[in-house]
Structure 1
């Protein structure tokens, strides 16, 4: 699947579209803003209707752009799905900077990091997309792979990088940070996500998620806290 590459310019405050907005011409929406509208519309369409039933036309209509504009920016539905999942993780990583989570106590630092990941993994829309991927991956061979590469694996890698940083500070002893990150995310999210996807149960409330993460932190640090 072709990778969607986005060339951006940025201002000192980090807005990639600011330079083009400041030019003394009539305001024309930059392509990066239009992509954001398209990805947002695609996220709703895919989670509401499924992959097969979602069309480029329905996404364009929901985003308020023409199909010609959408095709100019994103060549096909497969690239749209891949770009949409990648964009969701990009926004998660920009909004929740795991590297900035630096409490003096490792218990609180790990709790904060896992809560950030739980907010993504147990997000209603993300769970709906994962359910859709499981249902339709048999018909669309690369659907699951795109979701795994751009969603699940990038979250694991972000948490693994944070765990490695804690190990370098002498707060943990890890053999394989990537493997441990996957285990931690599984402890936090897998059971409640399965209960929702297969059992029809509601996703846990915020207090329930917080209590679950606290238990996961306590169990994990029994084996991995540095002496």
Structure 2
């Protein structure tokens, strides 16, 4: 039996667990049925909640989808705990973040979400907007803050920190990610991730020209 407060409402921990359960169902259903073919009624039925509950917590379908993406992207953002990395070597921080980033984007649920966006973005532009705002944009903003911190500490050249963040993420994904999206390659194995990320970070931080070429 569920533990409730005196008012009959679930306690905070229980309410959060129910919210997570609803998001789990929604993510699975979006992946199975797509965005346009899935109704909130179906999600409510499969998750054993009322439509009123969905509207109260999330609003419409686009907002619910945004919440699903936001929860997935929490793991990417957590890979850069800004308050804890000021004293750590920058190369070490970027390698740790890169491992998390590549490990997550290669997971089946992330691949399904991205495939869903690509398939339905033209029909539902609000879907693409929710995905970018709650997913890639959050990661880019966090990484941009990291590079800005490094610039303030005098470790990184003066450049647009958002540009630096975008270049680093693009380097991490590389051509392999595009081939993976097309089904031409499998996601990186864990040992491959480590070697790839270290190579990317080294190239990103130190470039590819020898000192004579740089002059």
Q: TM-score, normalised by structure 1?
A: 0.77
Which gives a bigger RCO, structure 1 or 2 (Cα 8 Å, sep 6+)? 2
Deviation at 1:103, TM superposition (A): 6.0
Query: Superposition RMSD on alpha carbons, in Å?
Result: 2.6
Deviation at 1:113, TM superposition (A): 2.5
Does 2:193 correspond to 1:185? Answer: no
Q: What is the 5 A alignment of 1:1-227?
A: 23=5, 28=10, 30=12, 31-90=15-74, 92-93=76-77, 95-99=78-82, 100-102=84-86, 104-223=88-207
- Alpha-carbon spacing, 1:128–1:174, altered in 2? closer, same or farther (3 Å): farther
Deviation at 1:44, TM superposition (A): 1.7
Give unpaired runs (5+ residues) of structure 2.
208-215
Q: Distance in 2 between matches of 1:82 and 1:125?
A: 14
Give unpaired runs (5+ residues) of structure 1.
1-20
The answer to which of 106-115 and 211-220 deviates more is: 106-115
1:181-205 CA deviation, whole Å, 9 max, x = no partner? 1111111124233212213432111
- Alpha-carbon spacing, 1:109–1:74, altered in 2? closer, same or farther (3 Å): closer
**Contact 1:101-1:112 within 8 A present in 2 as well:** no
**Contact 2:4-2:11 within 8 A present in 1 as well:** no
Deviation at 1:216, TM superposition (A): 0.6
The answer to which of 60-69 and 128-137 deviates more is: 60-69
Q: Distance in 2 between matches of 1:102 and 1:63?
A: 42
Q: Distance in 1 between matches of 2:94 and 2:87?
A: 9
